[in-house]
Amino acid sequence: MQIAVFTVDAFTNQPFSGNPAAVCLLENDLDEALHQKIATEMNLSETAFIRKLNPGDDFTKSSCFGLRWFTPANEVPLCGHATLAAAAVLFHIKKNTNSVLTFVTLSGELKARQVEDHIVLDLPLYLTYPQVLQEVEELIKAAIGDMIVQDLRYSPDTKKLLVRLSDAYERSVLEELQVSAQRFLSAEKTGKVKGLILTLKGNSSGKHKGHDFYSRYFAPWYGILEDPVTGSAHAVLSSYWSEQLGKKEMLAFQCSRRGGELKISLRNDGRVDIAGQIAIVLKGNLIF
């Protein structure tokens, strides 16, 4: 059996930066257990599987497809960068003729469209609520030691904990922070956290001006110690920073080693458009 597979770096226009995802195009149904085996083999934070919803569908002409995402350890309900990567394969490699693609996923219908040199994802927007420090104190200490926390929020829909560092810190502090995410597993006692976001307000002056906020994202609960650029985390960050900054249009930068930039636009229907660029770095076939 052969399956076409691609590696796409998302939220960047430079190869070998941004967030890499594998994308598999399924011409036929795939045995359920093989999804996880392939994702484990690809060993990227996500492997996306695009499937036809009807037998007569065509990757070049159809506008609606099924989409699933797997980490090396398990299936996940939402992955922004692998959705961007999936849309890139259809638009750029399959030369799909539709202006908008719809993906049927575990998080409902997600839409992707091309706008100049970006692909725009229409994602759910997730609200955050104040979180009591005592409940998660050990986890935060494991993440940032004695650094000053300015705000603490929790997103029940995504099980993500948002930790805002003091505005007194520079971007370089977030970038240079040494995080041992493996320790989070024993430090998280509540059972309700499945992702940890560290975030910092942007600096309107200096060499990095122009970004409204910065972040790093850790998900050892899903087998990902640090994710380079995370669309789903920005579905949470967007609602938080929009409220804090009083802005609907924002530019964000995720400060991982690879790094990546996201253009954010809150919509009037309670969702969020997150746009990024892509670089396709590998084309091949899985043979088994």
pLDDT value, residue 205: 62
Which class for 198: exposed (0-12), middle (13-18), buried (19 or more C-beta within 10 A)?
buried
pLDDT above 70 covers what percent of the chain? Answer: 98
Kindly state the DSSP code that residue 178 receives in the 8-state scheme.
-
Instruction: Tell me phi and psi for residue 208, to 5 degrees.
Output: -105, 25
Residue located via tokens 């977030």: 174
Spatial CA neighbour of 261 closest among 195, 205, 213: 213
Q: Residue 190: which domain range?
A: 129-269
123 to each of 60, 79, 205, 272, 279, how far by Cα in Å? 23, 10, 30, 5, 21
- Mean confidence (pLDDT) of the chain: 95
Q: Say if residue 145 is in the same domain as residue 235.
A: yes
| CB-based contacts of 236, cutoff 8 Å, min separation 6 | 126, 128, 155, 158, 160, 162, 197
54 to each of 61, 65, 214, how far by Cα in Å? 13, 9, 41
Q: What is the pLDDT of residues 20-71, one digit of tens each?
A: 999 999 999 999 999 999 999 999 999 999 999 999 999 999 999 999 999 9
**Residues belonging to the active site:** 46
Q: Say if residue 135 is in the same domain as residue 265.
A: yes
Q: Say if residue 120 is in the same domain as residue 134.
A: no
Q: Say if residue 177 is in the same domain as residue 104.
A: no
Q: Say if residue 134 is in the same domain as residue 263.
A: yes
First to last CA, the chain: 5
- Reduced to 3 DSSP states, what percent helix, strand and coil does the chain have, rounded to the nearest 5? 25, 40, 35
Q: What is the pLDDT of residues 169-183, one digit of tens each?
A: 999 999 999 999 999
Looking up residue 234, the CATH number of its domain turns out to be 3.10.310.10
Q: Give the separation between CA 25 and CA 179, rounded to whole angstroms.
A: 35
DSSP sequence for 40-63: HHH-SSEEEEEEESSTT--TTT-S
Average pLDDT over residues 195-201: 98
pLDDT value, residue 208: 62
Q: Say if residue 186 is in the same domain as residue 72.
A: no
pLDDT band at 203 (very low <50, low <70, confident <90, very high): confident
Q: Say if residue 8 is in the same domain as residue 107.
A: yes
Q: Say if residue 154 is in the same domain as residue 98.
A: no
Q: Say if residue 120 is in the same domain as residue 133.
A: no
Q: Say if residue 146 is in the same domain as residue 264.
A: yes
Q: Say if residue 19 is in the same domain as residue 111.
A: yes
| CB-based contacts of 232, cutoff 8 Å, min separation 6 | 78, 79, 80, 123, 158, 195
Average pLDDT over residues 109-134: 95
**Predicted confidence (pLDDT) at residue 206 exceeds the cutoff of 70:** no
pLDDT value, residue 221: 92
Q: Say if residue 92 is in the same domain as residue 147.
A: no
Which class for 135: exposed (0-12), middle (13-18), buried (19 or more C-beta within 10 A)?
middle
Number of C-beta neighbours around residue 207 at 10 A: 7
pLDDT value, residue 209: 67
Which class for 153: exposed (0-12), middle (13-18), buried (19 or more C-beta within 10 A)?
buried
| CB-based contacts of 37, cutoff 8 Å, min separation 6 | none
Where b means 16+ CB within 10 Å and e means fewer, 210-245 reads ebbbbbbbbbbbbebebbbbbbbbbbbbbbbbbeee
pLDDT value, residue 204: 64
Domain count within the chain: 2
Model's pTM, two decimal places?
A: 0.91
pLDDT value, residue 223: 85
pLDDT above 90 covers what percent of the chain? Answer: 94
